[in-house]
A = this chain, B = another copy of it.
Amino acid sequence: MAEQNRYHVAVVGATGAVGQKMIETLEDRNLPIETLTLLSSKRSAGKTVRFQNKNITVQEATPESFEGVDIALFSAGGSISKQLAPEAVKRGAVVIDNTSAYRMDPDVPLVVPEVNEQDIEKHQGIIANPNCSTIQMVAALEPLRQAYGLSRIIVSTYQAVSGAGNEASDELRQQTEAYLKEEQYTPEVLPVKGDEHHYPIAFNALPQIDKFQENGYTFEEMKMINETKKIMHAAELPVAATCVRLPIFTSHAESVYIEIDQEDVTVEELQSKLAAAPGITLEDDPKHQVYPTPLHAEGKRDVFVGRIRKDLDQSNGFHLWIVSDNLLKGAAWNSVQIAESVMNHQWFTKN
């Protein structure tokens, strides 16, 4: 651990969509950073990134890159995490991993600080950051679960392309321009880079995020289902998800149906619980057309909730509309929050 509680932090995947936001968020939050090491693939190494009025040169990530690092934020894809996270841990770093590599590992805490910060303490070197669409949903639902219990979740998502990386954002931009000029274009990235077929995203909706599993659900849908249960410590909670990619650059939205364990709870009670919850901004005033939208949530760290209304048939059923910047609370900000928590509680690896 660094002296005087100033730390050596590394970002792996520093040139990616999430990595860039991690660096910005580390600066915005003014974390006590002695040294910031920026790491990437060989291809992106050599680029320069501005941090706290200094230029930092991005280096190729190797096992030796983690010598002396206290906290390493990984967001460079699952295979890089599988390969290098153990090397970082071996060298004494706490890894906060934004990929799906370790999320369902029973020895790895999967953390949204507003929900289960205390789980961080049990880490054995790696702490996993959940999937973007999961984070904003559990952050919004946990205050309701604590107050009223939760017996069911059904979610349909409206997800931004930046969740699939800078390449996907570039594809949306280029396709949109081509469409408007009535020019031909060939989809090459979405819905899933490396999958067999690619479909247009401009002015379209693709009901596939990540690859299909044997059960007909996509991996993204299974992440939402399994990660929610793990984060909430609610293995038996029924969760259903349909995940859809849309022509939106930033911020995921979610149409969520829940059933709570109590009858006779009012919309106003749910609103007041959410208004008081950490990390949540209530934007819910239909009379004045106040509700969250992706564009309005962009660049903000909170999770925004609106359109809260009681189901017309099910007395314990409610509908909500949950929106958050997928690169911030959905990725970079949640990872930095975990880093802050590790620093504040001195939950470093005991060597």
Which residue in chain B gives the minimum CB-CB distance to A248?
A: B203
A319 at the interface (CB under 8 A from B): yes
Contact B242 A212 (CB under 8 A): no
A345 at the interface (CB under 8 A from B): no
Contact A215 B246 (CB under 8 A): no
Contact B240 A288 (CB under 8 A): no
Question: Roughly how many angstroms separate A142 CA and B80 CA in the complex, as a whole number?
Answer: 49
Q: What sequence of 0s and 1s flags, for each residue 235-279 of chain A, a beta carbon within 8 Å of any chain B beta carbon?
A: 000111010101111000101010000000001000000000000
Which residue in chain B gives the minimum CB-CB distance to A217?
A: B309
Contact A240 B317 (CB under 8 A): yes
Copies of chain A in the complex: 2
The B-contacting residues of A in range 298-338, CB under 8 angstroms, are 306-314, 317, 319, 321
A208 at the interface (CB under 8 A from B): yes
A205 at the interface (CB under 8 A from B): yes
A54 at the interface (CB under 8 A from B): no
Given contacts A173-B180, A247-B248, A248-B247, contact A242 B321 (CB under 8 A): yes
Contact B216 A289 (CB under 8 A): no
Contact B253 A205 (CB under 8 A): yes
**Smallest distance from the beta carbon of A188 to chain B beta carbons, Å?**
14
Given contacts A154-B154, A311-B240, contact A207 B176 (CB under 8 A): no
Contact B249 A203 (CB under 8 A): yes
User: Which residues on B sit within 8 Å (CB–CB) of A310?
Assistant: 216
- Interface footprint category on A: 35 or more
User: Which residues on B sit within 8 Å (CB–CB) of A156?
Assistant: 156, 242, 255
A291 at the interface (CB under 8 A from B): yes
Q: Which of A40-48, A68-76, A117-125, A193-201 contacts B (4 or more CB under 8 A)?
A: A193-201
User: Which residues on B sit within 8 Å (CB–CB) of A154?
Assistant: 154, 257
A286 at the interface (CB under 8 A from B): yes
Given contacts A197-B289, A295-B200, contact A312 B240 (CB under 8 A): yes
A67 at the interface (CB under 8 A from B): no
A177 at the interface (CB under 8 A from B): yes
Inter-chain pairs besides A203-B294, A238-B312, 16 sampled, C-beta below 8 Å: A156-B156, A158-B205, A196-B289, A204-B248, A205-B246, A205-B294, A207-B306, A212-B286, A215-B312, A216-B308, A238-B313, A238-B314, A239-B312, A240-B257, A242-B321, A247-B248
**Which residues of A does B touch, CB under 8 Å?**
152, 154, 156, 158, 173, 176-177, 180, 191, 195-197, 199-200, 203-208, 212, 215-217, 225, 238-240, 242, 244, 246-249, 253, 255, 257, 267, 286-289, 291-296, 306-314, 317, 319, 321
The 12 listed contacts between A and B (C-beta, < 8 Å) are: A203-B247, A204-B248, A205-B253, A205-B294, A207-B253, A207-B291, A207-B293, A207-B321, A212-B289, A244-B253, A244-B255, A247-B247
